[in-house]
């Protein structure tokens, strides 16, 4: 039983499906760096304000001291919420008292591309591990299995082969375990 149910992590629902999300004034993106543990509060406030955002949230399970299995929904990138809008939307977000600083994204198309890949990993329902440090390795495309079509870097963690999908803007990413799939090596 989850402590709290999963909340909305993207507003509107079709935010990452909109092909014009990076064009014009409405397509400006900011990485909002929140105060400690305030991501969900900021997301709730942005929904009330009608401001478009995305904050990848993953499910994490752990055992309580009495042995019960607990499920939490945590942001994949601690303290980051991505906002799309104009200067007025950014200002309204800054007035929520949840934000420490904001950074305009210099290449929104690249950010959206990376966020779409992360969203696909989350939607696949795989056990994801946040990766704060991007390591160099072999770039691959998954040919078969639940992650077919995903492009990333193969890394080794605790004896497991994992596919690392990165958000270059943050120099962070997420990795999913590679099991029962064929990989195609991509040229560097």
**Averaged confidence pLDDT in the chain:** 87
pLDDT of residue 76: 94
Q: How confident is the model at residue 3 (pLDDT cuts 50, 70, 90)?
A: low
Domains of the chain: which residue ranges? 1-123, 126-188
Q: How confident is the model at residue 135 (pLDDT cuts 50, 70, 90)?
A: low
SS3 call for 127: coil
Task: Give the count of beta carbons closer than 10 Å to the beta carbon of residue 77.
Answer: 21
pLDDT of residue 22: 54
Closest CA to 141 of 117, 107, 119, 157: 117
Q: How confident is the model at residue 36 (pLDDT cuts 50, 70, 90)?
A: very high
Task: Give the count of beta carbons closer than 10 Å to the beta carbon of residue 102.
Answer: 16
CB 61 within 8 A of CB 129: no
Task: Supply the CATH classification number for the domain 1-123.
Answer: 3.30.70
Q: How confident is the model at residue 1 (pLDDT cuts 50, 70, 90)?
A: very low
Whole-angstrom distance, CA of residue 15 vs CA of residue 17: 6
pLDDT of residue 143: 82
Laid out side by side, the sheet with 52-54 consists of 10-11, 52-54, 80-85, 28-34, 99-104
| Rounded mean pLDDT, 154-183 | 86
| Rounded mean pLDDT, 37-58 | 97
103-117, 136-150, 161-175: segment of lowest average pLDDT: 136-150
Q: How far is the first Cα of the chain from the last one, in angstroms, to the nearest whole number? A: 44
Residues 61-103: tens digit of each pLDDT = 888 889 898 889 999 999 999 999 999 999 999 999 999 999 9
pTM as predicted: 0.83
Whole-angstrom distance, CA of residue 13 vs CA of residue 16: 8
């Amino acid at each position: 039983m989850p402590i709290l149910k999963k909340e909305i992590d993207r507003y509107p629902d079709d935010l990452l499906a909109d092909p014009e999300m990076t064009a014009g004034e409405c397509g400006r993106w900011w990485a909002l760096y929140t105060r400690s543990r305030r991501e969900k509060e900021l997301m709730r406030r942005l929904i009330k304000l009608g401001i478009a955002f995305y904050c990848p949230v993953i499910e994490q399970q752990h055992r309580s001291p009495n042995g019960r299995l607990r499920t939490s929904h945590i942001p994949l990138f601690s303290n980051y919420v991505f906002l799309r809008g104009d200067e007025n939307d950014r200002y309204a977000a800054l007035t929520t008292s949840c934000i420490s600083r904001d950074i305009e994204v210099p290449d929104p198309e690249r950010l959206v591309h990376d966020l779409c890949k992360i969203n696909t990993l989350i939607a696949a329902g795989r056990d994801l591990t946040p990766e704060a440090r991007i390591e160099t390795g072999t770039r691959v495309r998954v040919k078969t299995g639940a992650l077919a079509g995903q492009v990333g870097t193969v890394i080794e963690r605790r004896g497991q082969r994992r596919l690392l999908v990165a958000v270059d803007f943050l120099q962070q990413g997420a990795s999913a375990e590679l099991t029962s799939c064929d990989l195609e090596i991509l040229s560097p």
